[in-house]
Structure 1
Amino acid sequence: MRRPYPLRAVAAGAMLILAAIGVPHAARAAEPIRIGELNSYKAQPAFLDPYRKGMQLAVEEINAAGGINGRPIELISRDDGGNPGDAVRVAEELVTRERVDVLAGTFLSHVGLAVAGYAGKRKVFFLAAEPLTDKITWADGNRYTFRLRPSTYMQVAMLLPEAVAANRKRWALVYPNYEYGQSAAETFKTLLKQAQPDVEFVAEQATPLGKLDAGPVVQALADAKPDAVFNVLFAADLARFVREADNRRALENVFVVSLLSGEPEYLDPLKGEAPVGWVVTGYPWYDIDIPEHKTFLEAYRKAYGDYPRLGSIVGYTTIKSIAAGIAKAGGTDTEKLVDAFEGLDVLGPFGPFTYRASDHQATIGAFVGTTALRDGGGVMSDPKYVDGLSVLPSDAEVKALRPAQN
């Protein structure tokens, strides 16, 4: 007669069977949420190095708190080359090879538009973190694309009250000659003309991105004898423009309104050469009294031993937004995630904001102030936070801006 298995062996065998059954379930429960992020890291390091740190801080905070429904976040970043074609190829690799659950990122507007188009065709969730062109949420908007930062239209509208109050008649414009710069210039001309019908646009300089020949550009503006300038240049182009205008004294007694020029990424490198009296959008991290920002500032300084830039805010809030959306959706199913993002409420370093269902634009705002010198460097003085919702078209107006099929 065959001897029966000892009780301990039977128990051990049962435990092994149960463990074998349970392992896949446990693995599924702990499977990371994979965020595929692409950006122009080599082309725009001033903004995107702090942006990457902001993302990493958010990932660490979320994972330290147990992840999202028990699942940790895994961030997979790639450089998009600053080129639309390369960006689409990178997005495809992230989706097919890396099998990411969502896409996020991009900086340059024409690159963001390319990835948004890809997301719409492939039905992949995409959170455009930084690109500002209005087309992303309006003319070229689609069900699968959302945008975090205040758009070109929004930031121009934030600056418009100061431009109108200045009551200057002869305006000149200077901007980088690609989607962001072109749309900013057109929006400014349209909105200012509506508010001040007698305004004249006496000069317009569209310059190659990152390749500004500042001397001829500044001289052309000076020759037009404007009494006001709308500037859209940023990064190294902005620095070249400011220094050349100062050398030639081309903007003396000229009122200047400037997009993004109060962001530390672009203002700080100018140091004592920073312009004085420009009305700008930006990020005065040193003068923000919002409780959520104080918490963020302390955590960022503790993590990196440095102060944040606006890129830090954008990166951090991008990850926090995706986490909030996945938590609301109960997972990473694309259709459920899109539904969750429509009307999603998020608490960021600038306080609460919402992703609108009508156009997928976040209502996060921006700061408007005037440039000044303090302790040998440029700052924003008297900054005021402008809520994004206050400068957005109504949901009814969006219907005329956004394709019905999307």
Structure 2
Amino acid sequence: MTTRRHLVALAAAVASGALGSAAWAQDVIKIGEINSYKAQPAFLEPYRKGMELAVDEINQAGGLNGKKVELVIRDDNANPGDAVRVAEELVSRERVDVLAGSFLSHVGLALTDFAKQKKFFFLAGEPLTDKIVWDNGNRYTFRLRPSTYMQVAMLAPEAAALKKKRWALVYPNYEYGQSAVATFKKLMKQAQPDVEFVTEQATPLGKVDAGSVVQALADAKPDAIFNVLFGADLSRFVREGNTRGLFQGREVVSLLTGEPEYMDPLKDEAPNGWIVTGYPWYGIQTAEHRAFEAAYRAKFKDYPRLGSVVGYSTIKSLGEGIRKAGSTDTEKLIAAFRGLSVSTPFGPITYRAEDHQSTMGGYVGRTKNDGGKGVMVDYRYLDGARYLPPAAEAKKLRPAE
């Protein structure tokens, strides 16, 4: 009898613990976040901090629909296969409510397909490939950052205004770089029919042979250069180009280079006069950005990078979507995100119903080496809505649901 009572008591305790765990789970909204933290720390360490700030703000305000928000973060090793594996783990074992993240475009595409196959909500915060919302778009995937097409479309008028005929192209040889160059060629041909592309240097991601690339570009004798390299590849390219005089007397139009993640490491090698997209955090005086910067500095004792804005806005977007849906049910979230308006450090954005792309814009300006530190000058913010195809056209670019 004593043994039996012990067994009954043990069973009751186990049941109570299980119920307590379930009750706790019901009080938490889990966001499963997947990213290339080890491979791309310059962008993703600030990104993670931006997410943490947004989660703190949401939880301090009472959470979402009465529930606290919790981040469950995994590294994808910059590998599509690993990304899908950890996504499966997050959904099946960790029981996350939504998925978010990814940085590299080919990894983002793998997660986009995973979301479609599993019928699970996914917000792609950073990967820029247009295929995420167009060619490979699906009802389960939305994207925050302005796409490759949008950012190139912001730069193309500036490039065409230079009236340079012979252009050289240099880019990382994977989805993001390939699509950026394809869009640049298309838009430049439309704006300047006599334009020539005299050489293309497609380099392995993270493994640029800067000396050979710079020599090949110089040998082609271009009037101007369109660059899509970023991170460590950009640093090597700039260093070698400065040493060999590649940029002297040549205009350079460069995607992402004005982001502090990539500008700051250049230090006194930062180029002068390049036309770039970027993030001049030090000069943005809007109320939304001042509030964000102040909160970020208070928490981390550091200035924000573009990754900080993207991470923060990713979580804020999920928060607004979940609040509007009143649920983390996938279909309710999809309905909530279509046409969803979100306040971000760059001002209000909207997720378009037709292609699931947000209207977040970006800053375009020129680089300046200011006493050994690279900054952006003569910059302006361009509304992303102006650089997207009309809604009806965008809808045609997507597979039928």
Instruction: Bin the TM-score by the shorter chain.
Output: over 0.9
1:112-135 Cα shifts (integer Å, max 9, x gaps): 000000001100000000000000
Q: How does 1:3-402 map to 2 (within 5 A)?
A: 27=23, 31-402=27-398
* Total equivalences in the alignment: 384
Letter of the structure 2 residue corresponding to residue 394 of structure 1: P
Distance 1:380 1:398 in 2: 32
Distance 1:83 1:74 in 2: 25
Letter of the structure 1 residue corresponding to residue 137 of structure 2: G
Letter of the structure 1 residue corresponding to residue 216 of structure 2: A
Letter of the structure 1 residue corresponding to residue 304 of structure 2: P
- Contact 1:231 1:258 survives alignment (8 Å): yes
- Aligned CA-pair RMSD: 1.4
What is the aligned partner in structure 2 of residue 8 from structure 1? none
Cα drift, residue 30 of structure 1: 5.9
1:251-302 Cα shifts (integer Å, max 9, x gaps): 2111110000000000000011101000000000001011100000000000
Q: Secondary structure at the match of 2:282?
A: helix
Distance 1:170 1:220 in 2: 14
Worse-superposed segment, 277-286 or 28-37: 28-37
Letter of the structure 1 residue corresponding to residue 209 of structure 2: D
1:95-147 Cα shifts (integer Å, max 9, x gaps): 00000000000000000000000001100000000000000000000000000
Q: Secondary structure at the match of 1:35?
A: strand
Q: Secondary structure at the match of 2:202?
A: strand
Letter of the structure 2 residue corresponding to residue 63 of structure 1: N
Distance 1:145 1:280 in 2: 29
Cα drift, residue 399 of structure 1: 2.7
Distance 2:161 2:139 in 1: 39
Distance 2:46 2:29 in 1: 23
Unaligned residue ranges in structure 1 (runs of 5+): 1-19
Distance 2:163 2:185 in 1: 14
- Contact 1:29 1:70 survives alignment (8 Å): no
- Contact 2:48 2:311 survives alignment (8 Å): yes
1:315-366 Cα shifts (integer Å, max 9, x gaps): 0000000000000000101100011000000000001010000000000000
- Contact 2:270 2:372 survives alignment (8 Å): no
Identity, % of aligned positions: 70
- Contact 2:109 2:131 survives alignment (8 Å): yes
Distance 1:403 1:105 in 2: 23
Letter of the structure 1 residue corresponding to residue 100 of structure 2: A
Q: Secondary structure at the match of 1:271?
A: helix
Letter of the structure 2 residue corresponding to residue 165 of structure 1: A
Worse-superposed segment, 390-399 or 229-238: 390-399
- Contact 2:153 2:387 survives alignment (8 Å): yes
Distance 1:301 1:395 in 2: 38
- Contact 1:30 1:72 survives alignment (8 Å): no
Cα drift, residue 70 of structure 1: 1.1
What is the aligned partner in structure 2 of residue 10 from structure 1? none
1:238-259 Cα shifts (integer Å, max 9, x gaps): 0000000000001211111000
Letter of the structure 1 residue corresponding to residue 233 of structure 2: D
- Contact 1:176 1:232 survives alignment (8 Å): yes
Q: Secondary structure at the match of 1:130?
A: coil
1:45-65 Cα shifts (integer Å, max 9, x gaps): 000000000000000110011
Q: Secondary structure at the match of 1:259?
A: strand
Compare CA radii of gyration and give the structure with the larger one.
1
Q: Secondary structure at the match of 1:380?
A: strand
Letter of the structure 1 residue corresponding to residue 186 of structure 2: T
Cα drift, residue 29 of structure 1: 9.3
Q: Secondary structure at the match of 2:355?
A: coil
Letter of the structure 2 residue corresponding to residue 106 of structure 1: S
Letter of the structure 2 residue corresponding to residue 270 of structure 1: L
- Contact 1:222 1:251 survives alignment (8 Å): no
1:141-198 Cα shifts (integer Å, max 9, x gaps): 0000000000000000001111011010000000000000000000000110011000
Unaligned residue ranges in structure 2 (runs of 5+): 1-15
Q: Secondary structure at the match of 1:233?
A: coil
Cα drift, residue 376 of structure 1: 2.1
- Normalised TM-score (structure 2): 0.94
Letter of the structure 1 residue corresponding to residue 27 of structure 2: E
